[in-house]
């Protein structure tokens, strides 16, 4: 009897390569290279007069792939649609049914999903194959159509009133509004003066310690001026400092839950300086599979688009076993269950390593530097999440001086617990000086430390802060944060300086038009409620088309009013001192698909353009010219001389403008500690008196 032939269809070649390792010769694995059907780019693609029926078409370039898949389907006894285990993946499988002209009721058609690409998970998923989940498909359709309507109706307004090439969107407009509102808050902020008073005190034994003024006459005190502060200082100089009370105790610091998509993006931004899109790109590689020496291609982490903090029993059991064998019994604790965010979809586990025994150190040689950094972060966070709390001995004391009460406290780590594995920069101040004093003891005043302060405006958004805020207010979902930030950056609505987002003039104009004409649509509560409705579609509790029916009439009315009433806005291009080689005009800064560039203002008569480079602020070590920050074709930053090609100086690292005293090669800055080293790999010179 001939064995059955099985066809497995996935999205990517990387995923296909990993699956081939786990499935036998009777399985053939093919990749679709992403979506195969979508709404057309050239039109709205939604029939608003026919109950918002979408007009899906085959994506250009997918014809040959589909032709091949149709041939494979005909000869296969079983067809397994193994796209990602989320709304998007379910929709791709559903679109494949239509593109391949399959009958969803055909017994040979199966939908399979796995939370991790491991042999156990893949075999189990095939054994537990199911039908297409139309609730998931409809949730994706509702989101796609809603976003298409908003984008394709609002964007022409911006083209008409501002300039071509702009876009607006349901989630991106909220993100832009948050950044613009914060910038306005900062601009309008008026600082207020206040003072603090600290004292250096010393007991009969031990080192001096600091205490901070907390109360006067038993009430909390706020010092608003130098005069108020001077009055306090005068009293302190004439009175004795006596220890009123000393309390000793302990406190525990609990580990964080394993990563969700959002928290992974936030931590990778803060600790690794990864942009959200970069984090997701690398995480996708780790999920789909890496060629590990001695193992072959294996998926290293579980599914990366999730807002759940739950882990499987198998993952928990393996973590406990690893901790017991490698860290010791004292690092074992009861299973930790973490609170799930109220908006979370709990379909998948948290992001975790597929095997905790595959340690970062053991597989480092098989990973790129960026893959290693992110995998290490995921591995450590997961393991730490099932370890004991860190424990601290604490001391707090109250010190009286006349009518004033000072407070002081300190702590000392007594048991590291989870910090053995996951000690990030949040713990730099974990150990604080322990004040050494006894109740009733008179203390010696070493120094009075008054200090003037001014209230600070709220901080601008970083990527991590923006993602956290969007998550907290319930706008967007794990898979949308990275592309949303990418869009508002690519459109030049915001710019990033030292990790902080600043709205551009264009961004402020777009935000003003969108918020003044579509206040309801970009309203945070409205957008969050829309997300809840989309989640209810996924749960089978809400008709997906009803979301569109409720939304469209009012929205279409707003679009018509805006087209009629919104005045045109003219944005002046930034004029530079660079002279056009062809016609002599001063060139202006334009923003294109790949960022800023210089263009002649005489367009279309003069079409001259030039790249726009940022001055690195140093002289070329070879010829003394300016060094510019440039970008390679793949977007990687490098440093080059303005006199190129006459001067061939080029470096991936920032030059200092100096030459190596040993070999004469340019010195460059490397690493997070700004170490100055020789650019020649053969030399190895390191500047030891670097003060940076």
DSSP secondary structure of 408-472: EEEEEEEE-GGGGT---GGGTTSSBPPP---TT-EEEEEEEEEEEEE--PPPPPPHHHHHHHHHH
| Helical (H) or strand (E) element with 394 | strand 390-401
The pair of three-digit structure tokens given for residue 225, joined into one six-digit string? 């001026």
Single out the residue of 169, 143, 172, 164 nearest to residue 154, CA to CA: 169
Instruction: Quote the tokens at residue 411.
Output: 């702590």
DSSP per-residue codes, 630-682: EE-TTS-EEEEETTTTTS--EESSEEEEEE-TTT-PEEEEETTTTEEEES-TT
Report the distance separating Cα 76 and Cα 55, nearest Å: 30
Secondary structure percentages of the chain, helix, strand, coil, to 5:
35, 25, 40
Distance CA 546, CA 534 (A): 11
Cα three-residue angle 577-582-585, rounded to 5 degrees: 35
Distance between alpha carbon 497 and the CA centroid of its chain, in Å?
16
Distance CA 161, CA 512 (A): 12
Q: Reduced to 3 states, what is the DSSP secondary structure of residue 192?
A: coil
Q: Which residues are catalytic?
A: 303
User: If you search the block for the tokens 């000392």, which residue do you land on?
Assistant: 412
Whole-angstrom CA distances from 207 to 204, 350, 413, 433, 445 are 9, 46, 19, 9, 12
Place of tokens 């053939």: 28
Contact between residue 171 and residue 476 where contact means Cβ atoms under 8 Å apart: yes
As a whole number of angstroms, the distance between CA 687 and CA 34 comes to 49
């Amino acid at each position: 009897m001939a064995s059955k032939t099985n066809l497995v269809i996935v999205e990517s070649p990387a995923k296909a390569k990993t699956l081939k390792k786990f499935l036998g010769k009777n399985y053939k694995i093919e990749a679709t290279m992403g979506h195969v059907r979508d709404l057309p780019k050239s039109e709205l693609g939604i029939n608003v007069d026919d109950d918002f029926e979408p007009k899906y078409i085959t994506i250009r370039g997918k014809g040959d792939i589909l032709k091949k898949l149709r041939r494979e389907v005909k000869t296969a006894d079983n067809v397994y649609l193994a796209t990602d285990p989320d709304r998007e993946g379910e929709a791709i499988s559903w679109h494949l049914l239509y593109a391949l002209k399959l009958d969803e009721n055909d017994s040979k058609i199966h939908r399979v999903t796995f939370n991790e690409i491991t042999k156990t998970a893949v075999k189990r998923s095939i054994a537990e194959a199911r039908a297409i989940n139309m609730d998931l498909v409809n949730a994706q359709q509702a989101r796609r159509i809603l976003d298409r309507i908003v984008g394709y109706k609002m964007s022409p307004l911006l083209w008409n009133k501002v300039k071509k090439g702009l876009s607006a969107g349901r989630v991106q407009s909220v993100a832009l509004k948050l950044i613009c509102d914060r910038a306005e808050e900062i601009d309008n902020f008026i600082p207020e003066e206040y003072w603090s008073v600290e004292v250096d005190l010393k007991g009969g034994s031990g080192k001096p310690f600091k205490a901070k003024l907390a109360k006067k006459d038993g009430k909390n005190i706020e010092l608003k001026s130098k005069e108020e502060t001077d009055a306090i200082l005068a009293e302190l100089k004439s009175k004795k400092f006596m220890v009123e009370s000393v309390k000793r105790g302990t406190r525990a610091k609990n580990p964080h839950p394993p990563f969700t998509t959002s928290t992974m993006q936030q931590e990778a931004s803060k600790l690794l300086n990864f942009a959200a899109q970069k984090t997701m790109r690398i995480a996708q590689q780790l999920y789909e599979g890496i060629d590990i020496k001695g193992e072959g291609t294996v998926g290293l982490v579980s599914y990366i688009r999730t807002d759940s903090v739950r882990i499987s029993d198998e993952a928990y059991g393996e973590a406990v076993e690893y901790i017991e064998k490698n860290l010791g019994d004292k690092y074992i604790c009861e299973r930790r269950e973490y609170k799930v965010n109220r908006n979370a979809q709990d379909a998948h586990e948290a992001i975790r390593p597929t095997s905790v025994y595959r340690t970062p150190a053991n597989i480092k040689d098989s990973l790129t530097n960026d893959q290693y950094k992110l995998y290490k972060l995921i591995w450590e966070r997961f393991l730490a999440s099932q370890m004991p709390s860190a424990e601290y001995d604490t001391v707090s004391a109250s010190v009286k001086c006349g009518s004033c009460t000072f407070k002081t406290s300190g702590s000392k780590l007594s048991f590291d617990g989870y910090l053995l594995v996951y000690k990030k920069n949040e713990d730099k101040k974990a150990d604080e000086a322990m004040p050494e004093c006894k109740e009733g003891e008179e203390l010696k005043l070493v120094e009075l430390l008054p200090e003037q302060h001014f209230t600070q405006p709220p901080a601008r958004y970083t990527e991590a802060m923006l993602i956290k805020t969007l998550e907290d207010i319930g706008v967007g979902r794990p898979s949308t944060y990275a592309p949303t930030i990418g869009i508002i950056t690519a459109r030049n609505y915001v710019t990033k300086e030292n990790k902080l987002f600043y709205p551009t003039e264009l961004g402020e104009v777009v935000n003003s038009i969108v918020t003044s004409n579509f206040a309801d649509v970009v309203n945070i509560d409205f957008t969050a409620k829309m997300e809840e409705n989309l989640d209810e579609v996924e749960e089978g509790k809400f008709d997906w088309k009803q979301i569109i029916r409720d939304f469209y009439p009012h929205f279409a009315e707003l679009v018509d009013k805006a087209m009629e009433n919104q005045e045109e806005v003219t944005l002046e291009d930034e004029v530079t001192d660079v002279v056009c080689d062809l016609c002599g005009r001063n060139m202006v800064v334009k923003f294109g698909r790949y960022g800023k560039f210089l263009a002649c203002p005489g367009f279309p008569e003069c079409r001259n353009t030039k790249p726009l480079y940022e001055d690195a602020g140093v002289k070329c070590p070879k010829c003394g010219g300016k060094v510019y920050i440039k970008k390679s074709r793949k977007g990687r930053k490098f440093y080059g001389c303005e006199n190129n090609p006459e001067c061939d100086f080029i470096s991936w690292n920032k030059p200092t403008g100096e030459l190596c005293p040993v070999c004469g090669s340019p010195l460059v800055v490397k690493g997070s500690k700004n170490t100055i080293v020789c650019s020649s790999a053969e030399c190895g010179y390191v500047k030891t008196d670097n003060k940076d």
